Every structure is written in C-alpha cells, then in structure tokens.
Structure 1
Amino acid sequence: MTLVADKSILLVEDEAILALYEKNQLEQGGYKVTHVSCGENAIQLVIKEENPFDLIFMDIDLGKGLDGTETATHILNHKEIPIVFLSSHTEREIVKKTESITSYGYVVKNSGFTVLDASIKMAFKLFEANELTKSKKEHLETVLHSIGDGVIATDKYGKVIRINPVAEKLTGWTHDDGVGLTINEVFNIINVKTRLKVENPVDIVLKTNAVVALANHTVLIAKDGAEYQISDSGSPIKDLNGETKGVVLVFRDITAEYNVQSQIAKQANMLNNVLDAVIGTDFTQKINYWNKAAEKIFFWKSEEVIGKNILKVLKTNYSNFSEQEIIEKVNLEGSFIGEAIQEAKDGSLRNIEINLVLLNDEFELPSGYIFVARDISDRLKALKQIKESEAKLTQIIESAMDAIISIDKSKKIILFNGAAEKMFGYESNDIIGKPLDQLIPESFRNQHDKHIDQFGKTGVSRRAMGALGEISGLRSNKEEFPIEASISQISVNGETLFTVILRDVSVRTMSESKIQKLLHEKENILKEIHHRVKNNMSSLFTLLTLQAKSQENHSVQHILYEAAGRIKSMIVLYDKLYHSETDNSVSIQNYFPSICSEIVSIFPKNVDVSLNILEEPIELNAKLLSSLGIILNELITNSMKHAFIEIQNPEIRLNISKHKNILSLEYSDNGIGIPETISFQNTPGFGLQLIGMLTEQIEGKIRIDRTNYPKVILDLKV
C-alpha cells in the first residue's frame, strides 16, 4: 500500500464523540489528523498555515456559527485545498449543494473507514480506494466462519437430552438445568421482523423425519432475554432400524455476521449515492460490485456486468500504457491514478479520471481490485473553453491600438503587447522582467511610483483614460513623448497586479495646438467682421437720424425715426454679442435696459424708462433677441409718436417675469392709452402688423390687456 504518513488531515466536526471516532479511524489509517469543532477555528488554522494540511474533512452541519459549506467557501477563497464533506444526509439536493463548492467528495457519516479512506484517496487522485472495506469484509467473514456451533439433542418426544457448552452460552440454559425440558422451553426462537414465534425445527423433523433448516431472520431469545441471530439445521437421529429416536439441532450465532451483512448492505446503499463510479472485481478482474454512478456513467446495469471481466466490459484507452501494463503496475505498486478514455455501452466515449487500487486480504495477499472513476468530460470541455478564451484574449491584447503593459507588485513588467513594442521601441522578450522605470523619464519616476502606490492603497479597481493626467514616456532611443494612461489592478492568488493602457498623444497634442491657433485666428476675424457690421449699421443709423432731423414733414420724420430705431435694436444686439462670453446668446438683464434707453434717446422728447426685470439670469439666443428687440422698438416708437401728446412727465414701463418655463414681457406707458378699436388682429398700421408676425415667428402669444390700465403682454416659452 502507498504510505500516507506524510498526509495531514484537518477534521472539522462539532460532535465530540463522533469526531474522536473519526479521528481515531484516520490516525489508525496512518494519517496525521488535527480536529477542530467549528468553522471559524478551521479558517484560522488554514490561514495561519503553521501546519499545512493536505485535506479537510468537513461536516456540513456544524451547529452554531458557520456551517460546513460556508466554512469551505471561506477556506477556498483563501487557499485551494481538497475538501471532502461529511453529512448524515443523503438527499440529492444536499449533495448538489456541495457540488457548487467543491467536487472532491461527499461522504455520509458512519460510512466506515473504507469510504473515508476511499474519499481521501480520491482527493489525492483516488489513491487506494476502498482497500480497507474489502480487507475488513474478508477478515470478518473468516472470523464468523470460525465460531463453534451450538448443539442440542432431544428424544423422540422433543425432550432435551444434551446441551453442549456453546449451546449453553447461547441459550442461557446449563446442561443440567435444560435436560428433561421440552425443546421449545430451551430453544425459544422468533422471527426478527414480525416478532412472532417460529415453529421449532425439532418439531418439524419429528413430523417429517427429514433434515430441515431454519428460515432467515430467526432470533434466539436466551434465558436472560438476550437475543441472537442464528442459523441452524435439524436432523433426525435414527436407530439401526431406521426409526427416529430423536433429533440433533445444530445452530450457530450469526449475530455478528448478520450485522456485518446489514452494514455492508447499508454501505453499498451509501456508495450508490456517491457521484463517482465505484466498481469492485476479484483478482481475475471479474466484476463483483457496480454502483449506481457506474450505471449512469457507462449505461451498463449492474445485473448486466456482474461476473464479467471488466477489461471486456469497459474498453479503456490509456495515453501511455496498455491495459495489461496498468494491471502489472497496480500489482507492483498497489495503485494507479491517471486519465483515460473509456467506451460506454452505447459506444460513446467518456473522459475518465481513474483510481485503480489493489485489495489485499487479512494475510496481505491480493484478492481483487477497486476501480473508482470520475467523468471529467465536462471539466475538460470547460478547460478547452478557458484555453480558447485565453487565446482570444491574447489576440485582442496583441491587436489593440493602445499599448498594454502589466507589472507585478515589484513594478517589473510581465506583459508587453505589440502596440507597446511599437510605441517604446523594445521587443517584448527584451523588456519582460525589467522594471517599469525603464519606460519613464528619470524626472518623473519618483512621482510615477507614488501614483501607483497610492492607487494600490485605494482599493479602486480602475481609473479611466486621462485620469492620471498627461504624463511622459521614454522610448528606447531616449526620446520623451506625451502619453495618456489608464490604470487598473487585480488580485491573483493574493498578489496585486497592475495593468496600464497607454496612448501616444504626440500627434494629438500638435493637432490641438494648431486647432487652438486656428480658433484664435477665427475669433479675431469674427470680431473684425462684427466690428465692421456694427460700424456699417451705426453709419446707417446716423444717416437716418440726421435725415429725420432735417425733415419738416412730421410723418416722414417719424418714418425715418422708426427705421433708425429698428437698426438701433440690431446695433445694440450686435454690441452685446460682441462682448458676450458665449457664442450666440445674451442675457435679457444685459440687453433690454440698453435697447430701451438707446431707442428712447433717438426721439427728441425726454421720456423716463422704468424697468422691472427678474433677477434670475436668463440667456436667450441672438435670433430670438433680434425679434424681441424689433418688437420692443415698435412698441416704444408707437409710444413716442402717439402716447405723450400734452403729457407731463412721460414714462415707459417694462416688466419682465417668469413662471415655470413661460417668460412674460409686460409693456405700458402713462400716455393717452390705446384706442379700443386697435388690436393686433385688426390694425392698419405696419408696426403692429410687424409685431404680430414676429410674435408668430418666435411662437409667442401677444395681447392687449386694458384691465386697470392699457398694457401689451407677450408670453414666450423659454
């Protein structure tokens, strides 16, 4: 057998007696066993790693605190170690619960050391599975067959005439006390299941004059009430003439054997609940045990294969050995662990992880084999998918336009993609293992190291491109160049790895500089154009104003002033746009006071302007303000022309308010008022028509409100 003295096991079991029993069993099997009673202590022991363990036996139900599956999850997050679960439950859902955590094994409590040992060996690549089960069974059978039989003799009337020592011990009746009593008084037997009295074999022999045997499940109740499972037979005692003179009853105590057989049946039932195929053979490779998992994996029913040669039932293809070489290897070394391809009943192939163990009897002579198989087809498929994913990831990294560089905790390069090679001028093979500082200008190295150290302490997984600001790189030819970087960190097996993605922004920096220069030139040109347009409109305004002043005809004079006012509203808007920090908008707080005072100043009459504009700054675009400026010009011009005839202290009032998204402009004066016949829907004048069209153009609503005093109200969505 393979030595296991160097294997250390952590037993996590909260039931002290059961733990002591399991610990003793494992230590008797040659393992070094450490016991803890709760999951928290198990986690601490594993994390300390003062005494590293090779395997953990984990009870699923640990009482208070963490249960077995939670404890296993904590441990596996810290360290990869085979964990075999222990439980008194065999329900499928409980077994499946453990499968999502680890697949090293699931053992039902009180399964016996053979199952414990087999589970351990399976976790160690399935070494020497179920060896002890076979050995114990054979040894127990030998012991049971060596027990002496009890003998009771009766006369032809069924009276006891002799009891041997073994019969005395089993029945509780001494020879002297039993002689003369009827056989039913001394030999009291019942059926173990029904607890009903069984007909005595002596009575049957006396009736039939033939040899009879007891039925199964017969219990002997001794004088003191003790019960024994027995098997017996009764034979007639005949004289020389062939007449029956009595009966000899031979029986033996098979209580131990009966219990063993029950236990074996129970263990066999437990093995039927494990997920691995367990197959037993004799030394000639003939199958004598085939569990349910074997049926599920290979599609052969137990009754179809029992007694057949396993090499013929399961066609096995080992990668480096023939089947005969494997048998010879197991006979020599005691076990074999490896992978193979096996053919199921329907011809389909299975990728199997195999543990083949030689079984010895109590005399250490080979008596058979235990074959434990685990279907790893899904695992190999998953590994293939992982490798394919890794290959795709490598291709993606290599095809990336940005440089991708990974470093370990000592800041040495462990990944350097093709874009990084082009950017820095180094071959990947030459730079792997070198410090990252080799790619950073000397003046920036200390600052860069601090950036990485601080980032590692934050616990943040990543920072986006440009989050580190613009930094510099150093090519192999010592040329410094500007780069933009993003950084991320991950933990692999407890070690922090950093990955940076770098982008050469040399060309972009030059382009941005050129763009800024062009934008500056464009801005100067636009300012010049604005200036010239404003000057041209100012010239037109001046000409119209001078022309108006020189006219004696008041009608012509008013027409010229109206035209000058309209141009003045545009001049004010251009001036505000010219000085505005935004591209194409002006605040109403800045525009309306200026346009009101400028238009009023065109006319010779002095008029006060009263403005009430909300404090909240509101920016409007130039197109909208242009229309509002002309509308306001028309309203002011009408007031200046018609409202203040013989009015002392004339005044124009403009109130601007906002409710939700509606901006309201209320215009009024203290003049003679607006005639009842005048409205925006019915007006002969060009000014009011223009106001109506402009209002419609800007999707506003305008009306004349004569409540309290005449006023024009314009509502506009902003």
Structure 2
Amino acid sequence: MQLSIPNIAVEEDPELTAERFQRIKSHGHALFHAQNWRKDGTPFDVEVSASFLGGEEDRIVVFFRDITERKLAEDRLRESEEKYSSLFDQAVDAIYIHDFEGKIIDVNQATCEQTGYSKNELLQLSVFDIHVTGKETINLSEADTKRVWQQSRVGERRSFEAEHRRKDGAVVPVRLSTGTVRFGNEFIVMAIVEDITERKQAEEEIQRQLAEKENILREVHHRIKNNMAQVEGLLLLQADSTDNPHAQSALQEAISRVRSIRVVYDKLLIGNDYQDLSVKDYVESLVASIVAVFAERRNISIETRLADFALSSQRLIPVGIIINELLTNTFKYAFTGRKDGKVVIQLDKNETHATLSIEDDGVGLDDGGTADTSTGFGLSIVQMLVEQLNGAYSVEINGGTKSVVEFEL
C-alpha cells in the first residue's frame, strides 16, 4: 500500500484526467479505458470503474480490470475489417451484398462505377432495380431469382450471364457469380458482377468475320461446282457427238469422274460445314449418280452398308473417285452375259482407319488379274489415289470380285 495512482497509471493528458474526475464527481460513477504499469515496467490495458465516495477528501474507489486480451482481439478484428474493406473497395469487379428480397446492403466502388449510381443511391435500391426485366432479356424473373437464392446452400456458388441497366438507361451484359454467405446470425447473398461488354463485342466481331468467310467460301464452292458442271456438260456433248463406242466409253468414264468430284461440292453447298462432310450421305448420292449412268443395268441390285462419320472434303474427293472407278468397273465387266446381279458397298471405321469394300457376285476379273497386276487405266487411278490416302488396296476373287481399300482417317 505504498503506491499511489500516479505510480501505477500511465501518465495521461492532465485535461483528460481532470475531465474524468469531474465526471466521476458529478455523476457518482464513470467507466473508461486507460493504461497501467506492470511491476516490470510494461504498460497494459485496463477497464477502469470509478465510484465517488465523497467526504472531506473527495474520496474515489477505483476497480481495474485487465482487458489486454480483449484489446488484442479488438485490434485483430479491426485489422481484419480494414483488410476486408480494402479488398472490397479495391476489387476490379462490382460486388453486391443483399438480402433474400434483393434489398442492397452494401456495394463496393466498382459497383458505383459500373452502374453510374452513387453508393447512397444504390443502398436505397433493390437488385431488381438494376436487373433488366421484360420479354427481351435473358434474366430470370424476380420470383425465379428469389427461388434460386432460397435454395442456395452456404458455400455454393452459381455463375450465369445476365443484363443490367445503368443509371443512364444503358443496358450492359454482365456475368454474375452469386453465393449465400453467413453474416453474423443472418444469411445474405454476395454477388460478384463482371461487365462483359468488351467480350461480347469481340464475340460478335468473330461471328461477323466467320459469317463473312463462310459467304466467301460458299461462293468459291458455288463457282467450282458450276465449273465442274460445265466440264461435265462439255464431255456429255462430246460423247453425244461421236459414234465411236470406244470414245463414248472413255468420255463416259471421264464424266463419272468429274461427277464424283462435283457431288462433293453439291454437299458442301447444302451443308453448314464447309470442310467436313458426312461420308454416308456423300457415298449414297454418288452411288445413285453412277447407277443412273448405267440405266441398262437396272436389274443389278445395290446394297449399301455405310458407317456415318465425317471426313474432310480433301480426303473425300479421292475416296469418291475410287468408288466411281470400282463401281464403274463392276457395272462394265462383272456381269458380262447376265442381266441381273448384286453389288454390296460397305464402309466401316475404327479409331484410326476406314475400310471400303465393293463386292459383286459376278464372273470375277476377266483377265484373272489382281490389284497388283491389273493395268487398266481405272485401276491405275485407284492405286494412285490409295497411295495418296496412305492406304492399301487388295482384290479377292471367290465366285465374284471383292475390292477392299483401307485408308487412314
């Protein structure tokens, strides 16, 4: 009991000390924070509860409570709040905090810049004042949006595109990432909103350029198709103008080859893909055009077993010419002396290769040749195109002829 208040209390402003004493005396009691000295000379925070007792010496009874831990916790909380506030306000994207009715509780500076509203103005609004409503918008209705919020679990985030209306009335496309978070004893919604106007404009420009290129490509294909048709027409006129059966046969083969290429461009013009085509669709059309050339062979039945897969036009053209050569050979030589017969055209694929086979029940190769020894012009074309496709060509003879072409996809 050898110490006095000045010995244990950290020195403060005399005016503050006098003000506190006056408050204690006039109100009879006061509660405030101060700092005391420990025995080792280090200061520590205390909560001071002082009561006025009166008497001739104006006695006061004082209780000190060590609040060091509480002050440290308050400092940590304040530091955390300052960090949150700094991150919140310096975020590039707009951040909304609102309740499940859409009432805006807080926003950051980016939200004000994105919408054109001041923070005070936004705090008087609902998010539904920002969301565009009506038939022309991609936004959910107010009822559906509230239902999504109510069904969201804490920690679960949803991302989607929407449209917001600025204060000046301009509508901007945005991408929202929303989630439910716990705030004290309440649950609220936090939405991060990115303005995607520039991205949308870039996408539109890409689509415009693609459409322009598609139009150019379509025009190129159209002109090639027309040129091929003109070549085909000239060959037809030449074939009609000669009585030489060998010349007519040679011209007819040339017409079939041109037609097999023209069919590719017909398909390219009809479809939306100007590079890849359905092999099944193309082969069916090509076979029909070849069969039409050999009208006198109408009793020959054609069966197709075709896998449906896409192939680039660059690879489909040689495949088409190969089919034209093999099927033309079949019509010309496989059924000599017969009025009827059957041809099976099969096309299968695996992950890396496709296998094409054309099989007939005719008389077989008239010279007993094989794929390697046959010297006809048509088969020479087949062998050349198979090599171009990095493939292999073989012929099997067993009561008829089966030509097999395997090539890489």
Give the TM-score taking structure 1 as reference length: 0.43
Aligned to 2:329: 638
- Is 1:649 aligned with 2:342? no
Contact 2:99 2:189 in 1 (8 A): yes
- Is 1:459 aligned with 2:186? no
Letter of the 1:563 counterpart: A
> Offset at 1:626?
1.2
> Offset at 1:537?
0.3
Letter of the 2:238 counterpart: Q
Letter of the 2:398 counterpart: T
Q: Match of 1:664, SS?
A: strand
Distance 1:493 1:615, change over 3 A: farther
Residues 477-626 of structure 1 correspond to what in structure 2 (within 5 A)?
Answer: 477-506=168-197, 519-520=210-211, 522-602=213-293, 605-614=296-305, 617-626=308-317
Q: Deviations over 1:258-309 (max 9, x none)?
A: xxxxxxxxxxxxxxxxxxxxxxxxxxxxxxxxxxxxxxxxxxxxxxxxxxxx
Distance 1:684 1:398, change over 3 A: farther
Gaps of 5+ in 2: 1-37, 48-59
**Greater C-alpha radius of gyration:** 1
> Offset at 1:570?
0.7
Letter of the 1:456 counterpart: W
Q: Deviations over 1:178-228 (max 9, x none)?
A: xxxxxxxxxxxxxxxxxxxxxxxxxxxxxxxxxxxxxxxxxxxxxxxxxxx
> Offset at 1:592?
1.8
> Offset at 1:488?
1.6
Contact 1:607 1:652 in 2 (8 A): no
Aligned to 2:163: 471
- Is 1:317 aligned with 2:43? yes
Aligned to 1:667: 358
Which among 380, 397, 400 is matched to residue 689 of structure 1?
Answer: 380
Contact 2:97 2:189 in 1 (8 A): yes
Aligned to 2:371: 680
Counting aligned pairs with the same residue, the percent is: 27
Contact 1:650 1:671 in 2 (8 A): no
> Offset at 1:480?
4.2
Contact 1:545 1:602 in 2 (8 A): no
> Offset at 1:499?
1.8
Residues 430-441 of structure 1 correspond to what in structure 2 (within 5 A)?
Answer: 430-432=121-123, 434-440=125-131
Distance 1:388 1:495, change over 3 A: closer
Distance 1:389 1:495, change over 3 A: closer
> Offset at 1:509?
5.4
Q: Match of 2:297, SS?
A: coil
Q: Deviations over 1:300-338 (max 9, x none)?
A: xxxxxxxxxx93xx44332579xxxxxxxxx95465212
Aligned to 1:148: none
Letter of the 2:183 counterpart: V
Structure-2 separation of matches of 1:438 and 1:668: 72
Structure-1 separation of matches of 2:128 and 2:360: 77
Contact 2:160 2:175 in 1 (8 A): yes
Contact 2:235 2:255 in 1 (8 A): yes
Residues 115-154 of structure 1 correspond to what in structure 2 (within 5 A)?
Answer: none
> Offset at 1:698?
2.6
Q: Deviations over 1:639-688 (max 9, x none)?
A: 3444444x221546133153754643221334431157523333433432
Residues 397-408 of structure 1 correspond to what in structure 2 (within 5 A)?
Answer: 397-408=88-99
Aligned to 2:54: none
Contact 2:104 2:125 in 1 (8 A): yes
Moved more, 495-504 or 610-619: 610-619
Structure-2 separation of matches of 1:548 and 1:575: 24
Distance 1:682 1:435, change over 3 A: same
Letter of the 1:463 counterpart: R
Gaps of 5+ in 1: 1-309, 322-330, 340-352, 355-375
Contact 2:152 2:179 in 1 (8 A): no
> Offset at 1:410?
5.2
Aligned to 2:348: 658
Structure-2 separation of matches of 1:553 and 1:413: 91
Structure-1 separation of matches of 2:81 and 2:305: 64
Residues 83-482 of structure 1 correspond to what in structure 2 (within 5 A)?
Answer: 311=39, 314-318=40-44, 333=62, 336-339=65-68, 353=69, 383=76, 387=79, 391=83, 394-409=85-100, 411-432=102-123, 434-440=125-131, 448-460=141-153, 461-466=156-161, 470-473=162-165, 475-482=166-173
Contact 2:393 2:406 in 1 (8 A): yes
Q: Match of 1:592, SS?
A: helix
> Offset at 1:608?
4.5
Distance 1:399 1:318, change over 3 A: closer
Letter of the 1:538 counterpart: A
Distance 1:689 1:477, change over 3 A: same
Distance 1:600 1:655, change over 3 A: closer
Give the TM-score taking structure 2 as reference length: 0.71
Structure-2 separation of matches of 1:442 and 1:665: 57
Letter of the 2:93 counterpart: D
Structure-1 separation of matches of 2:295 and 2:150: 76
Contact 1:489 1:498 in 2 (8 A): yes
> Offset at 1:492?
2.0
Q: Match of 2:355, SS?
A: strand
Q: Match of 1:666, SS?
A: strand
Q: Deviations over 1:95-126 (max 9, x none)?
A: xxxxxxxxxxxxxxxxxxxxxxxxxxxxxxxx
Structure-1 separation of matches of 2:338 and 2:366: 20
Distance 1:611 1:561, change over 3 A: same
Letter of the 1:318 counterpart: F
> Offset at 1:525?
4.2
Structure-1 separation of matches of 2:289 and 2:140: 59
Structure-2 separation of matches of 1:659 and 1:591: 16
Aligned to 2:57: none
Letter of the 1:458 counterpart: Q
Q: Match of 1:680, SS?
A: coil
> Offset at 1:618?
3.0
Between 1 and 2, higher relative CO (CA 8 Å, sep ≥ 6) is seen in 2
Aligned to 2:392: 701
Contact 2:299 2:341 in 1 (8 A): yes
Structure-2 separation of matches of 1:390 and 1:686: 86
Q: Match of 1:713, SS?
A: strand
Contact 2:386 2:393 in 1 (8 A): yes
Q: Match of 1:490, SS?
A: strand
Q: Match of 1:414, SS?
A: strand
Contact 1:654 1:665 in 2 (8 A): no
